[in-house]
A and B are shown apart, each in its own frame.
Chain A
Amino acid sequence: MKVRIRDIVEALGALVLVAGEMERGEVSGGYCGDLLSDCIANAEEGSVWVTVQSHPNVVAVASLVGIPCIVITNNQEVQEQTLEKAREQGITILKTPLSSFEAVSALSRLGISGKKRHV
Chain B
Amino acid sequence: MPEEHPLIEMEREIAGGDFQRAGDVSSELKNILQRAGFPPAFNRRVVIASYEAEMNVVIHAYRGVFRARVYSDRVHVEIDDQGPGIPDLELAFQEGYSTAPPHIREMGFGAGYGLSNMKKCSDVLVIDTRVQEGTKVVMDFFLSPSNS
Contact = CB atoms under 8 A, between A and B. Distances in A.
A78 interface: no
Interface residues of B, number: 25
A4 interface: no
B113 A57 contact: no
22 contacts: A34-B108, A38-B111, A38-B113, A40-B48, A53-B107, A56-B19, A57-B19, A57-B22, A57-B55, A57-B108, A60-B22, A60-B27, A61-B23, A61-B51, A63-B23, A63-B30, A64-B27, A64-B47, A64-B51, A119-B44, A119-B48, A119-B117
B70 interface: no
Contacts of A63: 23, 27, 30
B147 interface: no
- In this complex, the interface size class of chain A, counting residues with CB under 8 Å from chain B, is 20 to 34
Contacts of B9: none
B109 interface: yes
Contacts of B108: 34-36, 51, 53, 57-58
A40 B51 contact: yes
A60 B24 contact: yes
Interface string A37-66: 110110001000001010111101101100
Contacts of A58: 108
Main SS class of interface, A:
helix
A81 B111 CA distance: 24
Interface in A1-57: 34-38, 40-41, 45, 51, 53, 55-57
Interface of A: 34-38, 40-41, 45, 51, 53, 55-58, 60-61, 63-64, 81, 119
B16 interface: no
B121 A119 contact: yes
A40 to B, nearest CB: 6
Instruction: Return the 3 tightest CB-CB contacts between A and B, nearest first.
Output: A60-B23, A37-B113, A35-B111
